[in-house]
């Protein structure tokens, strides 16, 4: 009986601990160690493929994120150290061990709701570090991905603020730490998940104040006429942004339009302000791109136009030649993740524009969509 058990034990050990037969290798063309990114030559795997790569004797999981000609962008799991890997290094890889189902399960041992933390026991020898991610499952099978913020004395603390079901988290809930790369809601900083370009469109209601005496007199007269309706709006058009500083700042260009319109049975009067130039968005959340408070600043050239259509009895309104000048706008708001690649921005913006002899300030409440 002992001999049979011994033979079975040896066979099982051989099955589970024999190193896989590496099927191919690739050369490191470039490396970004702070992001665990490698640009490789000699790979023929498709985008989305997961590889098991031997790095200085350590088995690491990497995902093919982008293929461009002979160059392949690999995102390595952050539990893998690339400190000793240099350009020109040849690494062996296999598809055998790189499965997305390989995971280690843990459970919630303690919850600190005031600090938005949960704790789980970490067995000795387990490769869990600050920045590692766990998937947590709610009682009704919802899930979210949360980061480890500290590891000490065989226990890991995880930040739960990103979970929509945070209030449901109790000791005993299941946690799963994946060896591979997990998908998460919202773009994660420091990974290639951050899009290279974003578009912004928005609309809002402006409160407009005119500094020029003629502009103020004309608009006050129209507003006080009960037969004339006033419709004003502001639009963000053709906003194009590029992430810099690891996604905490978006820099781009934008056209912002403000219309102040008056309409009656025989009267139509419209004032337009158009500002075009640079625009910056500053996000405060360093853990999750596009979630939470942000600031916005715009500056550029500005143009003023006023057009009037009246009958001969009303008079007093006339077209005003276009005036050019400058404008600046600043404010902030709160950003929400709508999907993995789209954001919704609630904003309060103050603008001041000087165009010829007209100066105009606006305070605008707006809703924008970035994708």
Q: Are residues 228 and 171 in the same domain?
A: no
369 falls in which pLDDT band (50, 70, 90)?
very high
CA distance 29 to 93: 16
What's the total number of domains in the chain? 3
Of 109 and 16, the structure prediction assigns the larger pLDDT to 109
Neighbouring residues of 170: CB distance < 8 A, sequence distance ≥ 6: 108, 111
Q: How confident is the model at residue 70 (pLDDT cuts 50, 70, 90)?
A: confident
Say which residues have a Cβ less than 8 Å from residue 313's Cβ, sequence separation at least 6: none
Is residue 189 one of the residues assigned to a domain? no
Q: Would the pLDDT of 180 be above 60?
A: no
Clarify whether residues 215 and 364 are in a common domain.
yes
Q: Does 277 share its domain with 318? A: yes
Structural domain includes residue 56: yes
Predicted confidence (pLDDT) at residue 179 exceeds the cutoff of 60 = no
How does pLDDT run across 77-100, given as a tens digit for each residue? 777 888 888 888 888 887 644 443
What CATH number corresponds to the domain at position 356? 2.40.160.20
Of 35-39, 65-69, 117-121, 361-365, the poorest mean pLDDT is in: 65-69
Q: Which of 125, 150, 178 is the last residue of a domain?
A: 178
Q: What is the pLDDT of residue 48?
A: 66
185 lies in a domain? no
CA distance 156 to 93: 31
Count the neighbouring beta carbons within 10 Å of the beta carbon of residue 107: 12
- Cα(279)–Cα(309) distance, rounded to whole angstroms? 35
pLDDT digits (tens, 9 = 90+) for 224-255: 998 999 999 999 998 999 988 766 889 999 99
Nearest 5°: the CA angle 145, 147, 152 is: 140
- Residue 188 domain flag: no
Q: Does residue 265 sit in the same domain as residue 365?
A: yes
Q: The domain spanning residue 158 has which CATH number?
A: 2.40.10.170
Contacts of 253 by beta carbon, 8 Å cutoff, 6+ apart: 238, 239, 240, 276, 277, 278, 279
Mark whether 64 and 114 lie in a shared domain.
no
Find the domain containing 165 and state its range: 103-178
Residues 19 and 82 in one domain: yes
Most confident range (mean pLDDT) of 14-23, 91-100, 267-276 is 267-276
Which one-letter DSSP state was computed for residue 83? T
Q: Which residues have C-beta within 8 Å of that of residue 51, sequence separation ≥ 6?
A: 45, 61, 62, 63, 64, 74, 93, 94, 95, 98
Whether residue 171 sits in one domain with residue 75: no
The reply to whether 9 and 63 lie within a common domain is: yes
Q: Which of 61, 76, 94 is the C-terminal boundary of a domain?
A: 94
Together in a domain, 52 and 168: no
- pLDDT computed for residue 126 by the predictor: 66
For strands 133-137 and 103-107, give the pairing.
unpaired
74 shares a domain with 134: no
Question: For residue 353, is pLDDT > 80?
Answer: yes
Compute the chain's Rg from CA coordinates: 29
127 half-sphere exposure, CB direction, 13 A CA radius: 12
The reply to whether 191 falls in a domain is no
Mean pLDDT for all residues in the chain: 79
- For the cut 60, the answer to whether the pLDDT of residue 161 exceeds it is yes
Residue where one domain finishes, among candidates 69, 94, 119 = 94
**Model pLDDT, residue 192:** 31
What pLDDT was estimated at residue 15? 32
Task: Please indicate, yes or no, if residue 58 is contained in any of the structural domains.
Answer: yes
Who wins on pLDDT, 332 or 80? Answer: 332
């Amino acid at each position: 009986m002992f001999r049979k058990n011994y033979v079975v034990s040896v066979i099982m050990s051989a099955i589970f601990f024999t190193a896989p037969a590496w099927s191919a290798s690739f050369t490191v063309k470039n490396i970004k160690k702070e992001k665990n990114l490698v640009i490789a030559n000699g790979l023929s795997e498709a985008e989305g493929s997961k590889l098991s790569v031997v790095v200085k004797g350590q088995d690491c999981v990497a995902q093919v994120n982008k293929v461009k000609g002979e160059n392949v962008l690999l995102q390595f799991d952050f539990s893998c150290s690339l400190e000793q890997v240099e350009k020109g290094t040849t690494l062996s890889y296999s598809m055998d061990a790189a499965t997305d189902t390989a995971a280690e399960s843990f459970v919630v041992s303690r919850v600190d709701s005031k600090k938005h933390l949960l704790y789980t026991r970490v067995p000795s020898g387990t490769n869990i570090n600050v920045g590692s991610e766990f998937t947590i499952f709610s009682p009704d099978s919802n899930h979210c991905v949360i980061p480890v913020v500290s590891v000490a004395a065989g226990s890991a603390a995880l930040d739960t603020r990103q979970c929509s079901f945070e209030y449901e988290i109790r000791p005993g809930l299941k946690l799963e730490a994946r060896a591979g790369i997990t998908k998460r809601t919202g773009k994660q900083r420091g990974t290639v998940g951050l899009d290279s370009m974003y578009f912004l469109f928005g609309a809002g209601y402006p409160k407009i104040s005119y500094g020029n005496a003629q502009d103020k007199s004309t608009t006050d007269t129209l507003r006080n006429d009960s037969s004339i309706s006033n419709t004003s709006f502001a639009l963000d058009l053709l906003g194009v942004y590029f992430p810099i500083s690891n996604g905490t700042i978006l820099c781009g260009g934008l056209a912002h339009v403000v219309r102040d319109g008056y309409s009656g049975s025989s009267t139509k009067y419209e004032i337009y302000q158009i500002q075009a130039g640079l625009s910056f968005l500053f996000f405060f959340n360093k853990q999750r791109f596009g979630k939470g408070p942000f600031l916005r600043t715009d500056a550029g050239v500005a143009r003023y136009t006023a057009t009037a259509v009246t009958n001969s009895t009303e008079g007093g309104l006339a077209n005003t030649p276009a005036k050019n000048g400058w404008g600046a706008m600043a404010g902030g708001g709160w950003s929400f993740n709508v999907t993995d690649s789209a954001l919704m921005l609630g904003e309060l913006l103050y603008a001041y524009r000087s165009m010829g002899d007209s100066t105009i300030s606006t305070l605008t409440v707006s809703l924008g969509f970035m994708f």
